[in-house]
Amino acid sequence: MAEKHRIYRTADWAVAGSIVGALAAYPFQHSFAGGLAFAGFSAAAIGGLADSFAVTAIFKDPLGWKWPGWMGTRIIPKNRDRLIRELSDMVQTDLLSVAAINGKLQQFNLAGWLLAYFDERDSSAELADFLHRIGADLFGLADSTELADHLEQWILDHADQLNVSEIAADIGQWSLNNGYVDRVAEFIVHEVEKWLSSPSFRAMLTALIGQVLDSYSSGSASRKMFQSVAGLSPEKLGEKAQDWLQKLAVSLRSPEHPYRIKLNEQLAAIIVRLREDDALRRWVEDGKMKLLESARTRIDLAGWLQRRMDEVRAAETKTASSWLRGFISQAVRAGRSNPETEQRLNGVLNRLVMDAVAKNHNVIGSMVRGGLSTFTDEKLTEFVHEKAGKDLQYIRINGTAVGFIIGLLLFAATFWIGR
């Protein structure tokens, strides 16, 4: 504020000094020095007064007189609506355009800042408690039946945006590339091998073989005799069948087994079909919609939501938010320790922010127009004068200084020409 008043005083003194200088030099203008001083000071006074008139005319009528319209006085009050419109358009389309906001956002690591904030301040507990309180308040106001209807309808309305075929193909390709298909196969083979070697499987297999043999030899003496001579007892056959199945399971441990190779080849072929076979893709997407419609009638979503909301409302804050606290802490640690995870999170946050900005960008101009429209002519003039008045005083100072220099140059030029 002190600096602002100092600029005003400097501009006033510059204009006043040039007038005093012109008056003081007037009696001596017949001499070269006096004429030079008079020309300089008088030109400075004219320049300073003219710029003072122009600066004052921006806000009001100079000297308090009602000047003609063509003089261009009271520029801000007369052009209030146009100025508000152009200022809001400038802020929206230039200063805070979508491209400008996106450029600034790309330079800022939003995910890194958030992760560092929650990690360094250990704010996971506060955030978990805050989210729990919000959830409890919202659940207290929500109707489970209405919420379930809206949720089901939202899922059905947006189900077409979830391309199950493409997602399944991506998951399958990722599993093949990272060896997860082999890991799953090894796990299944290991579990099957344990089951095949169990006494319960031996008993089941023996009983099944016994029923088959009884059915085979029933009503035929020759078959019974052959069975007796050959020693085809259910116990022996069951033991041999179990040994053979165990050996098959052990051989399936190797990724080079023909069955394992065939499985990978078939999965790769299915992935290709999920990407390229339009008929299969339509069948998968139709199945998705049928499954959602069936789930809508079979699953009591409203009852499930009501039970969950009752649990949240009844639980104490510390108990209910403990899992949130652990989840947030774990997520923060994982993000900070893995640059790739932090980068992916930053990309997601940037997309969310830019989507919101793009959809609501017109709000920026509306906010500026709304804020400025509340100003009266006097308040708007005072606001602009408060923000730009200091800089406008430099126009007066520059006009005085430039006028003084031009006056000196013109006098010097005309003085020598006149001689």
Verify that 181 and 294 share a domain, yes or no: yes
Verify that 68 and 103 share a domain, yes or no: no
The CA distance from 294 to 63, in Å, is 82
Which residue did the predictor score with more confidence, 261 or 150? 261
Residue 233 has pLDDT above 60, yes or no: yes
Listed range (10-19, 40-49, 133-142) with the worst mean pLDDT: 133-142
Domain hosting 265: range is: 164-299
Residue 193 has pLDDT above 70, yes or no: yes
- Please give the average per-residue pLDDT across 29-52, as a whole number: 89
What is the DSSP secondary-structure string of 268-298? Answer: HHHHHHHHH-HHHHHHHHHHHHHHHHHHHHH
Which residue did the predictor score with more confidence, 244 or 142? 244
Verify that 70 and 184 share a domain, yes or no: no
- Please give the average per-residue pLDDT across 352-368, as a whole number: 84
Residue 321 has pLDDT above 50, yes or no: yes
- Please give the average per-residue pLDDT across 371-377, as a whole number: 79
Q: Does the residue 83 lie in any domain?
A: no
Please state, for a pLDDT cut of 90, what percent of the chain lies above it.
6
Verify that 40 and 130 share a domain, yes or no: no
Residue 396 has pLDDT above 60, yes or no: yes
Residue 217: the pLDDT is 54
Question: Six-digit token pair at 32?
Answer: 């070269």
Q: Does the residue 151 lie in any domain?
A: no
Q: Does the residue 246 lie in any domain?
A: yes
Verify that 277 and 398 share a domain, yes or no: no
Given 3-state DSSP classes, what are the helix, strand and coil percentages for the chain, each rounded to the nearest 5? Answer: 85, 0, 15
Domain boundary among 299, 328, 346: 299
Q: How confident is the model at residue 268 (pLDDT cuts 50, 70, 90)?
A: confident
Q: Does the residue 88 lie in any domain?
A: no
Residue 358 has pLDDT above 50, yes or no: yes
Verify that 344 and 411 share a domain, yes or no: no
The CA distance from 335 to 345, in Å, is 8
Residue 407 has pLDDT above 70, yes or no: yes
Residue type, 308: R
Verify that 243 and 343 share a domain, yes or no: no
Cα R_g (the chain), whole angstroms: 44
Residue 223: the pLDDT is 45
Verify that 227 and 176 share a domain, yes or no: yes
Tell me the pLDDT tens digit for each residue of 142-191. 566 776 676 767 676 666 667 888 888 888 888 878 877 778 888 887 88
Q: How confident is the model at residue 271 (pLDDT cuts 50, 70, 90)?
A: confident
Residue 17: the pLDDT is 92
Domain boundary among 274, 299, 324: 299
Residue 418: the pLDDT is 57
Q: Does the residue 385 lie in any domain?
A: yes
- Please give the average per-residue pLDDT across 322-331, as a whole number: 67
Q: How confident is the model at residue 287 (pLDDT cuts 50, 70, 90)?
A: confident
Verify that 17 and 132 share a domain, yes or no: no
The CA distance from 254 to 260, in Å, is 8
Listed range (131-135, 139-143, 305-309) with the worst mean pLDDT: 139-143
Number of domains composing the chain:
3
- Inter-CA distances, 131 with 61, 110, 137, 144, Å: 58, 20, 10, 19
Which residue did the predictor score with more confidence, 385 or 99? 99
Which residue did the predictor score with more confidence, 122 or 189? 189
Q: Does the residue 22 lie in any domain?
A: yes
Residue 132 has pLDDT above 90, yes or no: no
- Please give the average per-residue pLDDT across 29-51, as a whole number: 90
Verify that 7 and 133 share a domain, yes or no: no
Verify that 209 and 317 share a domain, yes or no: no
Q: Does the residue 9 lie in any domain?
A: yes
Q: Which of 28-32, 36-40, 210-214, 315-319 has the highest mean pLDDT?
A: 36-40
Residue 298 has pLDDT above 60, yes or no: yes
Nearest to 84 by CA among 366, 372, 386, 385: 372
Question: Six-digit token pair at 181?
Answer: 């298909």
Residue 284 has pLDDT above 80, yes or no: yes
Residue 357: the pLDDT is 84
Which residue did the predictor score with more confidence, 245 or 38? 38
CB 235 within 8 A of CB 206: yes
Q: Does the residue 66 lie in any domain?
A: yes
Verify that 197 and 287 share a domain, yes or no: yes
Tell me the pLDDT tens digit for each residue of 69-96. 656 667 777 777 888 888 888 888 888 8
Domain boundary among 245, 267, 299: 299
Nearest to 352 by CA among 100, 166, 158, 102: 102
